[in-house]
Amino acid sequence: MAVITDSAWIVLYGNDFSPYQLSEQTGLSFEEVVEKGVTLQTTGPHQGGFAPYGWARSTAFTQVEGESIENRLLLLLSELYDKVGNRLADFNIESISVWLVVKHSGEGQHGFEIGPQVLLLIGQLSATLCIDYML
């Protein structure tokens, strides 16, 4: 196939969600976090004020040469499910979004695949799959 996954990440969100608390209790780590009432907003409608919600992002960076972003995403989703599983409400996580940014290499088909293991974990976490297609 001529479509490749350019990047992928997972976003956790909740009005009373604390990424710090989740990290402390589960050992999960995030590249970017927003703590309700702690993080000063620098853009958007709450610019200059403290965040009215909690938010965290894990990005599927490849760890070794030759590893695919899809495999890394699968590892992140597995870790999230293993450590949080059906306890989303315990951590005040209201939504999870799994983002894929895909792009066409300029040749061949425009389709791409998402493996059943990734789809199963997305479903088990009640996450939303978001796909951004770049030409």
Nearest of 27, 10, 9 to residue 126 by alpha carbon: 10
Residue 67: what pLDDT?
73
Residue 1 and residue 18: Cα distance in Å, rounded? 40
Contacts of 67 (CB under 8 A, 6+ apart): none
Tokens of 85: 């599983």
Joined together, the tokens standing for residue 22 give: 């989740």
CA gap 43, 74 in Å, rounded:
31
Q: What are phi and psi of 107, to 5 degrees?
A: -135, 155
Measured CA distances, 36 to 45, 50, 78 (Å)? 15, 7, 26
Question: Once rounded to an integer, what is the mean pLDDT over residues 38-46?
Answer: 74
pLDDT value at residue 2: 58
E strands in the chain:
3-14, 32-34, 54-59, 95-104, 128-134
**47 falls in which pLDDT band (50, 70, 90)?**
confident
Label residue 64 by pLDDT band (50, 70, 90).
Answer: low
pLDDT attached to residue 46: 72
Q: Is the dihedral of CA 35, 40, 41, 47 positive or negative?
A: positive
Query: Which pLDDT tens digit goes with each residue over 103-120?
Result: 877 777 767 788 899 999
Whole-model pTM? 0.86
Give the Cα separation of 22 and 29 in Å (integer): 9
Is the predicted pLDDT of residue 6 greater than 80, yes or no?
no
pLDDT for position 63: 65
Q: Return the minimum-mean-pLDDT range out of 21-30, 52-61, 62-71, 88-97.
A: 62-71
- Between these two residues, 38 and 11, which has the higher pLDDT value? 11
What pLDDT is attached to residue 69? 81
pLDDT band at 81 (very low <50, low <70, confident <90, very high): very high
